[in-house]
Copies of this chain bind each other. A is one copy, B any other.
Amino acid sequence: MIYRNYLEPLCQNAKEASKKLANLSTAVKNNVLFTVAELLVKHEKEILQENLKDLENARGQNLEAAKIERLTLNRKRIEEMAAGLKEVAALPDPIGEILQMQKRPNGMMVGQMTVPIGLIAIIFESRPNVTIDSASLCLKSGNGVILKGGSEALHSNQKLIGLFSEALKAYNIPEGAVTFINQNKREVTAELLKMDNFIDLVIPRGGEGLIKMVTETSRIPVIKHDKGLCHIYVDSEANLEMAMKIALNAKTQRPGTCNAMETLLIHQKSAPLLLPDLLDKLNQKGVEIRGCPETQKYGEFVKPANETDYHTEFLDLILSIKVVSSIEEAMIHIDKYGSCHTESIITESYSQGIRFINEVDASAVMINASTRLNDGYQFGLGAEIGISTSRIHARGPMGLKELTSKKFVVFGSGQIRE
């Protein structure tokens, strides 16, 4: 009840503000983004001071190194945030586009106009740059946003949101357009997820625990940003040089991301030609390899892979490898163990490639490309708010377009229903 009393006026305020955003001109939205970019650079020192408070708390609580790294701001990261804001400003306004207008037999013209979704709640963990990214994408798409960041980044987030609010104020936009929740109890999140009379969409970004909690609790539609257990299948007719390059890239370029490869499947014909060299190179790069019995033949450092390994998103320099006898076996493995995130086949066979594209179910299915390329920038969406693992509304990288809804618009001349 106490949380409801805290959240309700806040959500109502945000909803009211979001209605104002729907009809804001592109110029005003862009000017706000440019102003935030300026303010970030201007107030760099204060931002770093607040970030330092978070870092001290984090160290006091013995947070793991990877999390501290993600929490850390510095001049370069602040400049990147500012540059990101300018990039979003440069993207075309996604609102007000009319798609596929057609004239119906009765003479009325019918099309679909892109409109904002309304009020979006984003629940995320420690990275403070997500705060600015999310707020800027929501503003550009005319959506109000409620941000619920992790407690680790509380001071940094409050400072960043303060600067965003300053810019909104300068253009007479109600501050409720970007709302930050600084209560960090789990009960607050639970209560927030009941506010379906105000909030139109919830986007959780984080670990499995967070995603599970949100989908089980929420009365509001959810678009998940869940895990990626991605495979590369090296076919019998692969270009082996290409396979080598792509496998190394997909595993080692940034192993902690959701689109990194976790399991390599390789056709038995290609295995003896590729594995000796590939295993050596992976080993040199510090990758721990867990392989099927066949794989183990090609390197004494290969540990045995078990059922659990094939089910695990390592997010680390660990790779499962399995030799398969056919593309069918590979696709059955992907269907059983994959998370429908990113799947790639390396092949020179037209038929095998097209078959893989058609039959494999994932947010992105690729021929001869690294899974690491499943990304909003790489796919040409401009900025992205994350990679959706939902099947509804948005799947894969979510850009500005995926932050819109539609309304049918009808230009009539007196039509009635006969």
Contact = CB atoms under 8 A, between A and B. Distances in A.
Interface of A: 19, 22-23, 96, 102, 104, 106, 108, 110, 113, 115, 117-118, 196, 200-201, 215-216, 219, 221-223, 239, 242, 245-246, 249-250, 253-254, 335, 344, 357-359, 361-370, 372-375, 378-380, 390-393, 395-397, 405-417
A1 to B, nearest CB: 18
A362 B368 CA distance: 44
19 contacts: A23-B358, A108-B369, A108-B373, A113-B357, A200-B392, A221-B221, A246-B416, A249-B417, A253-B417, A254-B417, A363-B407, A365-B410, A367-B412, A370-B415, A370-B417, A373-B412, A373-B417, A393-B393, A396-B408
Contacts of A216: 219
A397 B22 CA distance: 22
A369 B405 contact: no
Given A216-B219, A221-B390, A245-B416, A23 B359 contact: yes
Contact of A415 (B22, B196, B358, B373): B373
A68 B344 CA distance: 54
A409 to B, nearest CB: 5
A97 to B, nearest CB: 12
B415 A104 contact: no
Given A110-B379, A242-B414, A249-B417, A391 B366 contact: no
Contact of A96 (B201, B358, B380): B358
Majority secondary structure, A binding face: mixed
A117 B393 CA distance: 10
Contacts of A115: 361
A120 to B, nearest CB: 10
A106 B375 CA distance: 14
B405 A392 contact: yes
B410 A373 contact: yes
A414 B239 contact: yes
Nearest to A414: B242
A239 B253 CA distance: 66
Nearest to A366: B410
Given A239-B414, A379-B104, A407 B245 contact: no
A401 to B, nearest CB: 10
Contacts of A415: 368-370, 373
A264 B113 CA distance: 25
Contacts of A410: 344, 364-367, 369, 373
A115 B378 CA distance: 22
A233 to B, nearest CB: 14
B219 A365 contact: no
A409 B355 CA distance: 12
A364 B407 contact: yes
A406 to B, nearest CB: 5
A192 B407 CA distance: 31
Contacts of A221: 221-222, 390-392
Contacts of A409: 357, 364-366
Contacts of A104: 378-380
Contact of A379 (B96, B219, B408): B408
